[in-house]
Amino acid sequence: MKAAKFVISCLWIAVGVTSAETTLLPAGGETTWRYLEGGAAPGENWNSSGFDDSGWKKGTAPLGYGKEGLGTVIRFGDDPANKPITAYFRKTFKVGPKEKYDFAELGLSATYDDGVAIYLNGKEVARDNLEVGKLTARSRATRAIRESSELSIKIPAAGLKYGALNTIAVEVHQAGPTSSDLYLDLKLSGLKEGEKPVLDPYREGMRALQRGDAEEGSRLLSQMPQDHPEYARTMAMLGWQVYAEGLGEPKRGLPFVKKAYEVAPTDRQVVRSYIKTHVLSGVLFDPAAIARERKKDIAAEHKFLVTKPELREAKLVSRKDLEEDLDYLEHVLMKCFSYLELRPVDYQGALDAIRGSLDEETSLNQFRLQLAKLISLFCDGHARLASPPAQYMPRGYAPFVAGSYKDRVYLVDGESFVDPKHPYVTSIDGRPIAEWLEVASYTVVKESPQWRLRQSLQMLGYVNYIRAELGLPAKETIQLELESKNRKSSRKLEVEVARRPPREVEFPEGNSRRIGEVGYIRIPQMTGSSRFLAQLNQLMRQFKDTRGMIIDVRGNPGGSKNILLTLMPYFLKPGDPMRIIEFSAYRKPMELPKPMPDGFNMSSMSAQPVTSSHWKTEDQRKYIGDAIKAFKPTWVLPEGKFSDFYVLAFDSTMNPEAYYYEKPLIILQDSGSFSASDIFLGGFKGLPNTTLMGTASGGGNGWMDSYTLPKTGLEVVLCQTAKFRPSGEPFDGLGVPPDVVMEATPRDRMGKSDSVLDAALLRLAK
């Protein structure tokens, strides 16, 4: 069995009363705690039995914020960057007479994030991740922890009061005021002489997984009762993350995901695990579906797939294993890849070309390169080989960054041209720049032309790889032929090959700010962090009196759609119908035994089917249903292979803090605006008072998933949903065109100016 590579994230939940212990305080929702939030001081002797906590709030465990599965969410105030360091909790409980209970010891189990101190009737009985000495409300945890910590100890029973009230008091400390989460859950048990705490199969099973013992972990977790609150998701995790992906034994994972599905057939995470484990196991694949006479002749468009440039050294893999991986990949493409038919691609001929090029043993890096080239044939900006090019391409990089302006390629070294008098390159090592760009595009997906050019320019940096593809020798220098802006003079220049890629100047520079009477919001990435979203609301409040607004998403590679949810309601007129942002459909690898009313998407900010509980009123549901019936995609999806269409839509009420900003809005975009940025631009496109300015966005959207090839372990990422603009065009292959076309100049890219922003400001001034 190969070593486990899984990572388990969990919240420990203890269960029930058993004959081997007496539960005094159960974990989870059976226990209601008093808690103090908002950074207030708890008062003297707050951890003792006689303290009056009647003014504290009440809530069931687990308690905290920033975690899933909480019984009570604690407020931390208005500023997510300045949360209180410490939260305080108390629970009073009664124990019967000593002659009946008379415990020898107490069993204490707690889960917390980040640091904790626990008291029984005023006396400290446990402390973790905190400095020694007296604690105050400002005492920070020793270190920040990524997931919740857990302790399970025995403590003396001498501090327990029989036939009277007892108090457990807990203080939970954060590592800093920007900590994203806080958590507390606790169980207290009484143990008589010779008794031991009952082993919770969930707790102990998860412990075993964390230390890498998959067999013991799965044995223990299999003992969980079906009514355990974490049963379904635990079985799903065992089948998919532990066996299918961690150990590479997906068939052993099938019984677990089937158990999960029986209990929770509409839980999105469970259903995803159920489908993914079936895919990875290969039970959905029919060998007859790919059985055919292999093509022996290589078509002209596939010859680039079978070149064998010199790459970094790697282990050799047998032809048999590589052919098995190619068969598996062909099945995955046919079953799971949403954009397989978006553009005509002879992928079978391409796969056969690779099969025919294999030696009895082939370098794993050669195979990596061939897979990257194969993926490049498709129109899916998210599709890729998980191995980055730097992992397998030969060392040696161009000492410059290439850019494009008005269909010419310029070379930049830091904040200046390689040659200011001759900024544009016409050839490298005696070969035209067009040939270099063509080879650079070998591993770049055939997405929109603007995205393909942008990515190919970045790939130009792998100079020794491109030389190998062009049949040029690797050397320590590079011969450049450059020309002036007016093309009237040229110059030959020799530069040295670099050991590492050069640093690219950030563009555009600058943070969100007020520029005169205009509000400028810079969004470099579509982050979903609560802190950044709160900052956006704060900026919109500050810019309420401006005469116009600029939102800049140039170079934004995407991420979360929560920014769209935060900002767009400010620009939607109250009372108007919901605004539809996107239509999407999920490619179904298999038919499910039971319906999925909430759809397959993993997020509430994804498009939803008309049957989804996301729609709160019948009017909303009717509006979405009518929109789906009226929708006419320009690319007709293959019949029977996709779900019905889903819709992402919302109105001005989706952000309670939003007001209606009715003054002009300009959004700046370019070919680096991609994925969630495409959605953002598509949502604003055509909105009253809104102008998109710049160049067409990258054009890539879709929920993606990864597939591990069984023999080499290489990971391929492919989109599994097809997404469309409301106008009917797919995002992929086109992007969102601007209303006003304006290309950033080379000086802009070097950080010396920003002509597009200047033009936007001038437009608003008029």
For residue 722, which of 618, 645, 648, 670 has the smallest C-alpha distance?
Answer: 645
What pLDDT is stored for residue 20 in this prediction? Answer: 65
pLDDT digits (tens, 9 = 90+) for 524-563: 999 888 889 999 999 999 999 999 999 999 999 999 888 9
pLDDT digits (tens, 9 = 90+) for 254-267: 999 999 999 999 99
Query: Mean pLDDT score of the chain, rounded to an integer?
Result: 91
Q: Which two tokens stand for residue 603?
A: 């997020």
What pLDDT is stored for residue 12 in this prediction? Answer: 29
For residue 438, which of 446, 555, 346 has the smallest C-alpha distance?
Answer: 446
What pLDDT is stored for residue 76 in this prediction? Answer: 86
What pLDDT is stored for residue 200 in this prediction? Answer: 74
CA angle, 721 then 725 then 727, to 5°: 140
Binned at pLDDT 50, 70 and 90, residue 602 comes out as low
What pLDDT is stored for residue 147 in this prediction? Answer: 72
pLDDT digits (tens, 9 = 90+) for 476-490: 999 999 999 999 999
What pLDDT is stored for residue 19 in this prediction? Answer: 44
What pLDDT is stored for residue 194 in this prediction? Answer: 81
Report the percent of the chain where pLDDT is more than 70.
96
Binned at pLDDT 50, 70 and 90, residue 355 comes out as very high
83 contact partners, CB below 8 Å, separation of at least 6 = 76, 77, 174, 177, 178, 179
95, 190 Cβ separation under 8 angstroms? yes
- Going along the chain from its start, the domains and CATH numbers come out as 22-197 (2.60.120.260), 203-281 (1.25.40), 401-496 (2.30.42.10), 506-576+651-700+735-766 (3.90.226.10)
- Find tokens 């603007």 and name the residue: 450
Higher pLDDT, 153 or 642: 642
568, 650 Cβ separation under 8 angstroms? yes
d(CA 625, CA 581): 15
- pLDDT (average), residues 11-33: 67
pLDDT digits (tens, 9 = 90+) for 531-542: 899 999 999 999
What pLDDT is stored for residue 605 in this prediction? Answer: 64
What pLDDT is stored for residue 18 in this prediction? Answer: 39
pLDDT of residue 13 exceeding 70, the answer is no
- pLDDT (average), residues 563-574: 94
What pLDDT is stored for residue 398 in this prediction? Answer: 95
Give 497: exposed, middle or buried? Use CB within 10 Å, 0-12, 13-18, 19+.
middle
What pLDDT is stored for residue 327 in this prediction? Answer: 97
pLDDT of residue 148 exceeding 80, the answer is no
pTM of the model: 0.77
Backbone angles phi, psi at 411, to 5 degrees: -120, 130
- pLDDT (average), residues 573-586: 93
**What is the H or E stretch that residue 279 is in?**
helix 268-281
- pLDDT (average), residues 563-581: 94
d(CA 728, CA 636): 10
pLDDT of residue 16 exceeding 80, the answer is no
pLDDT of residue 10 exceeding 50, the answer is no
pLDDT of residue 152 exceeding 90, the answer is no
CA distance from start to end of the chain: 70
CA atoms in the 13 A half-sphere facing the CB of 447: 32
Rounded to 10 degrees, what is the CA torsion of 210, 211, 212, 217? -70
pLDDT digits (tens, 9 = 90+) for 446-473: 999 999 999 999 999 999 999 999 999 9
CA 203 to chain centre: 27
pLDDT digits (tens, 9 = 90+) for 672-728: 999 999 999 999 999 999 999 999 999 988 888 999 999 999 999 999 999 999 999
What pLDDT is stored for residue 638 in this prediction? Answer: 94
pLDDT digits (tens, 9 = 90+) for 753-764: 999 999 999 999
Binned at pLDDT 50, 70 and 90, residue 604 comes out as low
pLDDT of residue 366 exceeding 70, the answer is yes
- pLDDT (average), residues 740-754: 94
- pLDDT (average), residues 333-340: 96
